[in-house]
Structure 1
């Protein structure tokens, strides 16, 4: 310690206090610290989840499982894991857009700037104090590295993983973005948070696609957020109706949590929801080509899905709208270059104007080279009573 005092460096509780003050000055709403060995049960739970195939097509989850299960495997030198939360609570009802059937509902987290960009800059600034004041090495992570942020956040006391597997905070409800800083600094750890869900099942019961096989278990293959954001292929037919008009993500299980009575509106301006992204007209979205899509959603998380997957989602919402006027948007996309789009155009048209399917199938079904699109035509024709 003599060397530290002579050099002006901080350590232990003093360094922790200085860091917390800096992090809060940068806008972080919660700051807690966990030991790198604080989640001993996580590896087995992760292996079981992967063995069930509940990660869907997210192969990177399996490929990084070993590094993901223990912070020390990812970085052997780590001595403390700092978990930071940034509140993105909405100012109004996050589910209000679900009642606008001719509009597409966007998840609250995507209604402004991409949180990765917002948080990473703040994390780097905060981590700089550990290097300057503590002489420590650091690594920062925002949902892009094999780090189990939610179990670590519970171990650090930020909140607990609810029955919907998402972190719940006594102060901010369901609305916390998480970032992590790994450091060689030996900082005092905080006490873990306990589970406070009790007998409540609201998050489980509201799920439109039954994505929770049991409390605290999520099957991503049935999760609307996974299907509309991560899933790159055709969305299974039996799940489409449950998607409703959700075109990017889903907030149902988060929004109904009783702990949201303590939630607060986001303070960070770049995370305050933009009204123009809460509910978007489906007809306008269906007409987006790739350049228009990129321009419309530049800087938001929506851009990363790409135009084809996004319009696939829009067509599912159109098919669920019950609005016959939107059938012309589906008709126009029957010849789209993307098979993802063509297939969902067939499905949407079959839902809104089944009597038109046979006429539109003429020639198109025979010329179609994509097997999934042909199968969509066959199902639509059979449902309408016409022979394939």
Structure 2
């Protein structure tokens, strides 16, 4: 009977572990396929789910980005380098996970029982901690509110998985109870002692309700922090705004320079004629400003045949020739915005017009009519 109980616990633990891995993996995988040659095809798998969230303002914010993905250069060092920081955490956490896994499987090969040494000497679940660090890195690399939701969820899942495993190990391995009293679950004991002092109910259903309440509180704090970062990010972009338009530069350039290019463009009669049909007072625009030699897949623009879109640093490109891509901003049904709020609330955009400028001669080089999105037509991708 005891053996059956242990096997049952082990199966539950293993099933819950892989369920959490798959759950967060589906979200994290979005980042990797967005940089693969098959991005457009794989992204369509996620399209229906994202479109469903897009139907109402109460859920559309979940698919928004709270840090830039398209804009490579900002006025904030942290915001500019957040993807690099995130990738470092992701790879570092994954490497730590492999080290912990190596210790576990080496112990199994030697049939030496529970692992108490190495990185397990101070904390009992370094593998779960490593996965949490890796998952947080993914939040920075691909900062959708939805990914943040996944991160908080799997952190709680890892905690309960760890508790289940410890109950099983205490039954199977002599001295495991003493080992638990001398080590921390995820952090050093001196840190975790602070949490042990918090009151916690003893009855099962009371613990379940308290755990759910704690999860919701942590989730609200995480979303509040992300919203603050969202505001900070938008305010540190290189932009020039009017009531109905945001001109967003992907690289470092001041508002006066953007304004000068806008003046050149708006003064051209052909451009004015092309934009005349978009005079509805309720329409809002996100207009992307970048070097003419930069091509980005998430911005609906003309991309020459054979040219591969990239996320290169705009400052490394030729600064004498620029382009402005005019796009109509889309919002959830209940939302409307003006000025920088356009970037905060927009959930997608539609191409309108593309204008190339020779900055040295201050002339229009070419005007291209709206180009169908070659990669993510109608799909909700980052707007800044």
Name the TM-score class by shorter chain.
under 0.3
Give 1 or 2: higher helix fraction. 2
Whichever of the two has the greater Rg, that structure is 2
TM-score by length of structure 1 reads 0.27
